[in-house]
Structure 1
Amino acid sequence: MFRSIIDTYRRSFSGLSRETWLLATVILINRCGYMAVPFMSLYVTQHLHRSPSDAGLIIMLFGIGSIAGAAVGGALTDRIGHRPVQINSLIAGGILFLLFAYVTHFATLCVLSLVISFFIESFRPANFAATHSYAKPGTNTRSYALNRLAMNIGWAVGSSLGGFLALVDYQLIFLVDGGISILAGLAVMGLLPRARGAMRKLKEKAKGVVTRRPWQDALFLRFMALTTLFATCFFLLFRIGPVFFKEEWHLNEGTIGLLLAFNGVFIALFEMVLIARLEQRRPPLQYVIAGALFLAASYLFLALPVALALFGALMSMLLFTIGEMFALPFINTFVISRTSEHNRGQYAAGYTLCWSCAQVIGPAGGFFLAERWGYNLLWILVFALLLLAAWGFYFLYQRARHEVPLRTASA
């Protein structure tokens, strides 16, 4: 039995390119410092002693900057390549986080949130395109899953460390995050190979080739709308959840950090094996539907009474994490299946925009509802919205089954 489990893990990680492993290493470094964003709402409410609605405003502005960053990052990726976009976004974002630690003026913090998120989010479409660029043929889903493994190991380290740093001094969260982001940018510069002349060759190859743009792809536009709904609900556990755990369920920052870390540890242990077993067995959207249903169930546990706080938090995080493992890798697979080498950055930007818009809609709307009608109503509404998202992905899947492909992405 144990040999079978070990063999499954070995097969899950075999056949990936050296560059894919190097990219995952960079992501791991970056994510080990990714602690400022999940603790930002607590920083505003607990350290700066401002209202939850002010925290919602900061996070909403963070989302607005993300929208611009995703659009610009995707365009630049297709124009100058993924490597320079990743380097510049990581280093600039890190420097701004160092500055954020020393600013207490609220209006200035709002501006910084906008600018920081611009650079952070411009990294994502470039990183998305880089993953496909470095993947060997037939290993796309596992390459993205390896990146998610690196992200979630880093998330586990960063979240737990962030929780304990918050107990000491909230400023340390932003200093450590900024320093590690700069280190990750330098790692991209030193570890990932230059694609000498690659962009020039790609532009020559693209001459006379008609490629589909995301806004010309009706099915992808429907997918973007559903993904925005899904992502809006997804973000609430990590943006509003920490404030709920602290103020309503009276959990301390260390416990909250460990709860967030549980998400990353569970994914690190099981996602690659799950993907290796599920990949190419069913269409990606079927797994996305299952993921949305698991996420829906997870929010019901947040409506439990405070006497069951720790049980409710653990069960919610467990179901949420299972749903995440089903949904996110196969959402990536669906996106990449609709691209070619000439439009990958634009599709990556369109996909990233869904998550950026969700960062605007989710926290601001969620804090508004929670302040006026209570958290229980919010969690029930999120449950209903995720059921709606699952229903929408099902009909999208039915349409995709009967679609004649315009262009097949290179493997």
Structure 2
Amino acid sequence: MAVPFMSLYMTQYLHRPPSDAGLIITLFGAGSILGAVAGGKLTDMIGFRSVQILSAVIGGLFFIFFSTLTHFHTLCLLTLVISFFSEAFRPANFAAIATYAAPGTQTRSYSLNRLATNLGWAFGSSVGGIVASFNYPLLFIVDGSVSILAGVFILCFLPAVRMTPIVVKEKIDEPSAPKPWQDALFIRFLLLVTLLTTCFFLMFRVVPLYYKEVWHIDEMLIGLILGVNGIIIALFEMVMISKIENKRSPIFYIIVGVLFISGSYLVLMLPKITPVLIACLSIVFFTIGEMFALPFINTFVMSRTTMANRGQYAAGYTLCWSVAQVIGPSAGFYLAEKFGYTWLWLMIFLLLISCAAGFRYLGKKL
């Protein structure tokens, strides 16, 4: 709910320049890097259930505290702390899906998890836009409260596994469980995913500010437009995945997804005769690309793991998103100020075409 409106919160509510908004979002990414590494390591040590509970509850408390502050440097420090705990949740959740999924259903299981996530995204961004239109701090209070509630629900309803990952690790011969940084192909895959996610994040960090400043769309409507992403995924992704899973290689579907995402930025360069319609068309292209790419990226990552190293591989993948949060928004805001938004969208389009070519090359190697 709150993070997509972070740049608007800084510029519209606190009246800070866009560069400060970029710094806040960059710091959110920096804290995410530390959180991803710590979350992956702790998942292999104490189990995914404990990591999810602690990160959700502690992160939620700090989010509520964030709503009470206006001092910029304190907000910067708190952003690091919040993002650390928020991102520590992700590798643990990633490992949980792989553990609970029945054999042969991994891609569909990740899609089901994404269905839940995107239902929350659709509802959260839509309601967030409404809340932001009359009370920005309330965004963080509600977001933090829901995070705490999620931690409580995990404690009550998510069953603990009988063997912790550290016990399983002792039973697996160490050479059969390589470290992710020893997997050269996986490292190349992560570099391409980092490029993709860097461009991916701009849709939810920089584009909302573009809608507001250039196209003069209000916050409520921005929230509803972003919410279309979650609604489409909730309605169609599971059906689509069930039809195409195991029919082509994961890399093929990832390439298709990257090309659709590149098209979403191309749409933003159309003449702004009807800005809302163009914004909706762009988010539709983006969402189709996301539905193709992300579930099969998850499948590819988990296909290279064992129980002993699942947390570390999940952390490596999560790290791509964290690095993208550092690079993407700050670079996006800078390039937009320097060259204008049209040139920014063109550069992103060309980067994504290069990314698709990289995945194609990787597919040939496989």
TM-score class, shorter-chain normalisation, is over 0.9
SS of 1:305's equivalent in the other structure is coil
Q: 1:283 to 1:207 in 2, by over 3 A?
A: closer
| 2:247 aligned with 1:268 | no
Q: Kindly provide the CA deviation profile for residues 243-267 of structure 1, in whole angstroms up to 9, marking residues without a partner as x.
A: 0000000000110000011000001
After superposition, residues 184-333 of structure 1 pair within 5 angstroms as 184-199=150-165, 201-206=167-172, 208-333=174-299
Quick one: distance in 1 between partners of 2:172 and 2:46? 14
Quick one: distance in 2 between partners of 1:246 and 1:235? 17
What is the CA-CA distance between 1:37 and the residue it aligns to?
0.7
TM-score (norm 2): 0.98
Quick one: distance in 2 between partners of 1:45 and 1:305? 26
CA contact (8 A) 1:248 1:306 kept: no
| 2:111 aligned with 1:180 | no
What is the CA-CA distance between 1:308 and the residue it aligns to?
2.7
- Aligned equivalent of 1:73: 39
CA contact (8 A) 1:44 1:50 kept: yes
Quick one: distance in 1 between partners of 2:344 and 2:239? 34
Q: Which moved more, 1:237-246 or 1:201-210?
A: 201-210
SS of 2:156's equivalent in the other structure is helix
Alignment counterpart, residue 165 of structure 1, candidates 131, 148, 151: 131
| 2:362 aligned with 1:393 | no
SS of 2:114's equivalent in the other structure is helix
How many residue pairs align between the two structures?
366
After superposition, residues 135-174 of structure 1 pair within 5 angstroms as 135-174=101-140
Quick one: distance in 2 between partners of 1:387 and 1:58? 29
CA contact (8 A) 2:25 2:330 kept: yes
- Aligned equivalent of 2:70: 104
What is the CA-CA distance between 1:206 and the residue it aligns to?
2.7
- Aligned equivalent of 2:337: 371
Unaligned runs of 5+ in 2: none
What is the CA-CA distance between 1:211 and the residue it aligns to?
1.5
Quick one: distance in 1 between partners of 2:174 and 2:349? 48
What is the CA-CA distance between 1:62 and the residue it aligns to?
0.3
Quick one: distance in 1 between partners of 2:77 and 2:201? 22
What is the CA-CA distance between 1:304 and the residue it aligns to?
2.3
Q: 1:105 to 1:272 in 2, by over 3 A?
A: same
TM-score (norm 1): 0.88
- Aligned equivalent of 2:328: 362
Q: Which amino acid aligns with 2:249?
A: P
What is the CA-CA distance between 1:209 and the residue it aligns to?
4.9
SS of 2:273's equivalent in the other structure is helix
Identical counterparts, % of pairs:
60
- Aligned equivalent of 2:317: 351
